Amino acid sequence: MRSIISVMICVLGILISACGVKPADYYPLQEGYVWTYNLGDASKLRTVENFAVRAIDKKKVIPQKVDERGRTSFSFVVQEKNGVFEYAVQPAGSTAPRVLDTPRCILKYPVRGGTTWQEEASLGVLLESVPYTMTYTIEKKKETLTVPAGTFENCIKVSGSGLVEKDRGVLGALKVMVSHEIWYAPKVGMVRSIRKESGNHVLTGTSESIILLESFKK
C-alpha cells in the first residue's frame, strides 16, 4: 500500500512540475519588469519596462516603455484568453496613444507546438510601403538558449515567414522573403530574435537583424 502511495505522490509531483509554467509566463506583464536588449552591437541597446495597468477607451492595458537610442515610445499590451496582443502604440514624440485598428498578436495561446496565427505587416520597397502577411507558428521542440543575459531552458521558438511582392514595370517583379524567429523563455520573456529579409533583385538585397537579451530584472 505504501509503495502505491509513493508512486502516486511521485506521479503527482511530475504533473505539478510539468504544469508549473503557465502560458502567461512566456510574456510576463508584471509591473516593474525590465529587459535590456543588445541590437547586434553592445553599444546599441533597447530597454523595455512594464508599468502599472491603466485604461485606454475602458480597455485595461499594460504600458511598456521602450527606450532606444535616446528616443522613448510606448506599446500598450493586453492579455486575453487567446493570447497576448498589442492594443495601442505611442511613437516617440507623440503625446497620446493610438489604438490599432486590429490588435497585433504577439503570442497566441495555447503555448504549444502547432499554434499558428497571422499578422498584417508592411515593408518599404523602393520608397513604397508594400503590405504583406506574416504567418507565425510555435515549434514543437523546446530549446536551451544561451545569450548575454545567461542560459535559459525550456524556451519556445516561434517561426514566422512572409512574402512581399511588387510589380515594378520595367524593373520586373520584386520579391522579398521575410523570416522571423523568436525565442521566449518561461518567466523571462523574449530572449532572442532573428529577422531576415532576402530579395530577388539588386535593388532589394538582403538584411538581417539580431536582438539578444542583455539583462533582465524584476
Three cell numbers at 76?
500598450
Integer CA distances (angstroms), 43 to 38, 151, 214, in order: 8, 22, 11
Looking at the domain assignment, is residue 2 inside a domain?
no
Cα–Cα distance for residue pair 145/184, rounded to 1 Å: 10
Which carries the bigger pLDDT value, residue 191 or residue 126? 191
pLDDT value at residue 188: 98
Looking at the domain assignment, is residue 203 inside a domain?
yes
Place of cell 523571462: 188
Report pTM.
Answer: 0.88
Strand partners, 10: none
Looking at the domain assignment, is residue 82 inside a domain?
yes
Place of cell 485606454: 56
Percent of the chain with pLDDT over 90: 77
Which carries the bigger pLDDT value, residue 51 or residue 129? 51
Query: Domain count of the chain?
Result: 1
Omega prior to 97 cis, within 30 of 0: no
pLDDT bin (cut points 50, 70, 90) of residue 43 is confident
pLDDT value at residue 202: 66
Which residue range forms the structural domain that includes residue 193?
25-217
Cα–Cα distance for residue pair 146/60, rounded to 1 Å: 34
Question: pLDDT for 129-164, tens place per residue?
Answer: 899 999 999 999 999 999 999 999 999 999 999 999
Looking at the domain assignment, is residue 66 inside a domain?
yes
Q: What is the mean pLDDT of the chain?
A: 90
Cα–Cα distance for residue pair 193/35, rounded to 1 Å: 14
Looking at the domain assignment, is residue 7 inside a domain?
no
CATH of the domain at 124: 2.40.360
Looking at the domain assignment, is residue 98 inside a domain?
yes
pLDDT above 70 for 181? yes
Looking at the domain assignment, is residue 38 inside a domain?
yes
pLDDT value at residue 7: 37
Three cell numbers at 169?
514595370
